[in-house]
Structure 1
Amino acid sequence: MSKPIPDKAEVALEYPDKFYVGTFAHSSRFDAHLDPTGLALTLERPGPEDVRKSIHMHLNWGLLAAIIDEIATNIAAIPKDDVVHREQLHESVAALHEALKAP
């Protein structure tokens, strides 16, 4: 079941002869779920055909773990006074940590 995007996502896809960029904001929706091999993520922007768009990504477990490691290594890039975003990340990571401890 998709949920409203609480903030914003920007996606860029670059090919040798083409470049696509899209923004997904509050009017967009997302779905993230786990399957046997990793994380499936979908971002959808509803609307008429000329503005409607979606992206679908799948990250296998190893890549997902490497991304989380990279985030941890670079977390200092979030300013110390950006309490709201730091707290959002802290709560989400704590929930993930607790979920991983469950049998």
Structure 2
Amino acid sequence: MDLQDQLQNLFPDHKPSEAKEVSEELNLWLQDDPLICKYEKRKGKPITIIEGYTGANSDFKQLAKEIKQLLGVGGSFKNEQIIIQGDYRDRIMEFLQDKGFKTKRVGG
């Protein structure tokens, strides 16, 4: 007896609906200038900074959220920069290039 049968026994009047796939693909502003992805150390800890986005701040904040979820790390959006905890330049640049952005590596 699978889960659907068990649910049908518990709720005989309920008719299951088909699952809808929700695509949350954003239409971000793709620019001609590359996003700058640089590495710094602040208070002895490594951080990755992404800057140079010319679109809307809300799009850049959404991009920051997606990057943080992808990497499973903390970070913030301040002064039109995305600040990610740790040195993840390679993975971030690969993610941005998959999204269609041009990137430039700075700082080593």
Give the alignment's TM-score, normalised by structure 2: 0.24
Of structures 1 and 2, the one with the larger relative CO (CA 8 A, separation 6+) is 2
Q: Which has the higher strand share?
A: 1
- Length-normalised TM-score, structure 1: 0.25
